[in-house]
């Protein structure tokens, strides 16, 4: 049966509108089941801490569990690849970090492109690394660390959350700008690295403030300096590296991403809720306790941060000659 032209056009227009209506309805009912937030590192590190803070907030606000799932390995590339290949339905999210931006240059055979394949949702925070030593190391300042390292070449082990991790690159930048030698000891996350730093198996680490500040306050680790350009208001008595090594600056940041083609309505809903979390006085106070600064913004803002940090990371990786396993 041949339909009249006017009736055909009405039916076609109605059919074309269905996906848009479906997406809006989907977003309104989202989430209808638990959501997984994948972290590319072991528990207890800064990435894991931020994921759990945001996951708890989203669970309470949206009425479904946001379950943090740790998938460490290959400097978070295993987790990132899993999200890239996940259905773009908003039920599998990734905690994106400054490490992902570094990996774009560090690994030349990745099966994905972070900027192309991950939809930015929202940034969460930025924080300094702390140059920390085990109390058994006889140094209390950055100049003393430099002198000690030069007097004991290749005898200081530097822990990191893995090759190409933020603390690894912060350490490499320090080595590059001071001429010291550390033996790099990569771990499968900041948590295990801190355990060995506490135990004295390694001597130094450029640890994120949020993952290690309680050890510093408790005297179990000695903080020599912060890696940001200005002192942290949380530890104002701790100098910056730049006060002794002019021009030095490094920091760690996190955010949330999803597989590309995730409906914009879902991205916007999550962005709104994450920004609400970052504006909440209790959340802001908790971040401040951890030495972290909230980074509210739009998905586009987070996309620009990822692009800018990818470019910056490329320069450090190439200059320092860092190679992935």
- Same fold yes or no, 33-126+252-320 and 128-243: yes
Q: What is the pLDDT of residue 25?
A: 56
Q: What is the pLDDT of residue 108?
A: 85
Q: What is the pLDDT of residue 192?
A: 93
Query: For the residues of 16-67, what is the DSSP string, one character each?
Result: HHHHHHHHHHHHHH--SS-EEEEESS-TTSHHHHHHHHHHHHHHHHHSS-EE
Question: What ranges do the domains of the chain cover?
Answer: 33-126+252-320, 128-243
Residue where the block lists tokens 């379950």: 67
Residue where the block lists tokens 């003393």: 144
Collapsing DSSP to helix, strand or coil, 68 comes out as: strand
Q: Give the C-alpha distances (Å, rounded to integers) separating 116 from 193, 261, 271.
A: 32, 10, 19
Q: What is the pLDDT of residue 5?
A: 47
CATH tag, 128-243: 3.40.190.10
Per residue of the chain (325 residues), give pLDDT as tens.
445 544 544 444 444 445 544 455 556 799 999 999 999 988 988 899 999 999 999 999 999 999 999 999 888 999 999 999 999 999 999 999 999 999 999 998 899 999 999 999 999 999 999 999 999 999 999 999 999 999 998 789 999 988 888 899 999 999 999 999 999 999 988 889 999 999 999 999 999 998 999 999 999 999 999 999 899 988 999 999 999 999 999 999 999 999 999 999 999 999 999 999 999 999 999 999 888 999 999 999 999 999 999 998 888 888 778 887 6
What stretch of H or E contains 259?
strand 251-259
Q: How many residues does the chain have?
A: 325
The 8-class DSSP code of residue 111 comes to S
- The domain defined by 33-126+252-320 folds into D-Maltodextrin-Binding Protein; domain 2 (3.40.190)
């Amino acid at each position: 049966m041949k339909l009249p032209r006017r009736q055909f056009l009405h039916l076609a227009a109605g059919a074309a509108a269905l996906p848009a209506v479906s997406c809006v309805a989907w977003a309104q009912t989202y989430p209808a089941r638990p959501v997984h937030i994948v972290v590319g590192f072991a528990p207890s590190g800064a990435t894991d801490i931020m994921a759990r803070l945001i996951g708890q907030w989203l669970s309470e606000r949206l009425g479904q569990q946001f379950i943090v799932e740790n998938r460490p390995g290959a400097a978070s590339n295993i987790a990132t690849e899993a999200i890239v290949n996940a259905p773009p339905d908003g039920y599998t999210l990734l905690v994106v970090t400054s490490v992902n931006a570094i990996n774009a240059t560090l690994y030349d055979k990745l099966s994905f492109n972070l900027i192309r394949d991950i939809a930015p949702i929202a940034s969460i925070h930025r924080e300094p690394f702390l140059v920390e030593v085990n109390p058994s190391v006889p140094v209390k300042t950055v100049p003393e660390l430099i002198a000690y390292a030069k007097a004991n070449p290749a005898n200081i082990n530097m822990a990191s959350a893995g090759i190409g991790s933020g603390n690894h690159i912060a350490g490499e930048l320090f080595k590059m700008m001071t001429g010291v030698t550390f033996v790099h000891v990569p771990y499968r996350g900041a948590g295990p690295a801190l355990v060995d730093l506490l135990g004295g198996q390694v001597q130094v680490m450029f640890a994120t403030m949020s993952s290690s500040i309680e050890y510093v306050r408790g005297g179990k680790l000695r903080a020599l300096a912060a890696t940001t350009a200005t002192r942290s208001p949380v530890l104002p008595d701790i100098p910056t590296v730049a006060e002794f090594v002019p021009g030095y600056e490094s920091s760690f940041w996190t955010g949330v991403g999803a597989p590309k083609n995730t409906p914009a309505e879902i991205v916007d809903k999550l962005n709104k809720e994450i920004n609400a979390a970052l504006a909440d006085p209790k959340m802001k106070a908790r971040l401040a306790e951890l030495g972290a600064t909230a980074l509210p913004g739009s998905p586009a803002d987070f996309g620009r941060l990822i692009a800018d940090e990818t470019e910056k990371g490329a320069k450090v990786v190439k200059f320092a000659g860092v190679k992935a396993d």
